[in-house]
Amino acid sequence: MRVYDVTTFLEDHPGGEDVLLHAAANGDATESFEEVGHSSTATSMMEGYFIGTLEGHAASSDSSSGAPSGGALRNKALLEKKQPPSSGFSGFLLPLLVLALAFAAWYYLTYINVKA
């Protein structure tokens, strides 16, 4: 199941914040969202609020088959969060490595490779 954080969108939602809060409290807004017949603009807007997927939770259309209830949605530990772009090797170590290489090159050219 896909999870969206619409807290910053509540005030801007043309359908009002109440429907969003109600859908969130329900745990699964898939059906409500589809019933409204949202435009393709609305559907692509929604992707901007996507924060991750919830594993082990069936889509609402399957919920009659005894799938776990929306309460599980609040278990943030189950969320597969998107990695922030600036972390780990590419975010911190790589720029540091490039800087170190640049310094080494400058040092070599300035002090070691001087032709008198």
Distance CA 6, CA 9 (A): 5
Nearer to ligand HEM, 7 or 90 (CB): 7
Distance CA 54, CA 68 (A): 12
Strand order in the sheet with 2-4: 2-4, 50-54, 79-81
Q: Which of 64, 65, 66, 75 is closest to 27 using CA atoms?
A: 75
Q: Which of 60, 82, 84, 61 is closest to 73 using CA atoms?
A: 60
Query: Minimal distance in Å, beta carbon 17 to ligand HEM?
Result: 10
Query: Minimal distance in Å, beta carbon 101 to ligand HEM?
Result: 44
Cβ pair 37, 31 in contact under 8 A: no
Chain residues binding ligand HEM by CB under 6 A are 4, 6, 13-15, 19-20, 23, 29, 32-33, 36, 38-39, 41-42, 45-46, 49
Nearer to ligand HEM, 43 or 90 (CB): 43
Query: Minimal distance in Å, beta carbon 27 to ligand HEM?
Result: 12
Nearer to ligand HEM, 39 or 75 (CB): 39
Nearer to ligand HEM, 17 or 58 (CB): 17
